[in-house]
Amino acid sequence: MLSLWLPILVSTIALFFASFLSWMVLGLHEKDWQKVEGEEKLMETLRELNVPDGSYMFPGANSSKEMNSPEHQEKFAAGPRGLLQMLPVPNMGKNLGLTILFFLFCNATFAYLASFALEPGTPFLTVFRFVATIALLTFGASIVQHSIWFRNRVTGHIIESIA
């Protein structure tokens, strides 16, 4: 594993810059979020409600019993239905640092798997295919399942995973 420190580090830096390019230059995530018409009214209402940071579903239920109640089912059918994510003020330095650590951890894990699955001297293309498959599953698979349940746009994430 120690002999793989340079490829791990180089691939971490490459992933970080590829991620930057996909977000800031190529705009793969430009259409991931849309602006709500009447945004000012919505934001004022949320401020008045003093909704804390967190993830919310509406109409919401505090238990499965409440979720199955006729009243909740009626509210759910009438709509609107949605998800609300309340975020703290972002700390870009912390978020970028955590992203680098995530990429570093993933790449070290890929190297670990390759080190015991493949013999030293295995042809480059075989190693590349093995590691690329693991990376595609790691970076691409979870967002697809998230999309199935929460209907978020995943096109940019899938393109990033393949690239």
pLDDT tens column, 89-132: 989 899 889 889 988 999 999 999 999 899 989 999 999 899 98
Please give the pLDDT value at position 1.
65
Mean of the pLDDT values across residues 10-33?
Answer: 78
The DSSP string of 62-126 is SSHHHHTSHHHHHHHHHS--EEEEE-PPP-HHHHHHHHHHHHHHHHHHHHHHHHHHS-TT--HHH
Mean of the pLDDT values across residues 25-38?
Answer: 78
Please give the pLDDT value at position 27.
72
CA distance 50 to 47: 5
Assigned token pair, 141: 């698979």
Its pTM stands at 0.69
Model confidence at 41, pLDDT cuts 50, 70, 90, reads: very high
Q: Greater confidence, 152 or 137? A: 137
Is pLDDT above 90 for 42?
Answer: yes
Average pLDDT, the chain: 85
Model confidence at 136, pLDDT cuts 50, 70, 90, reads: confident
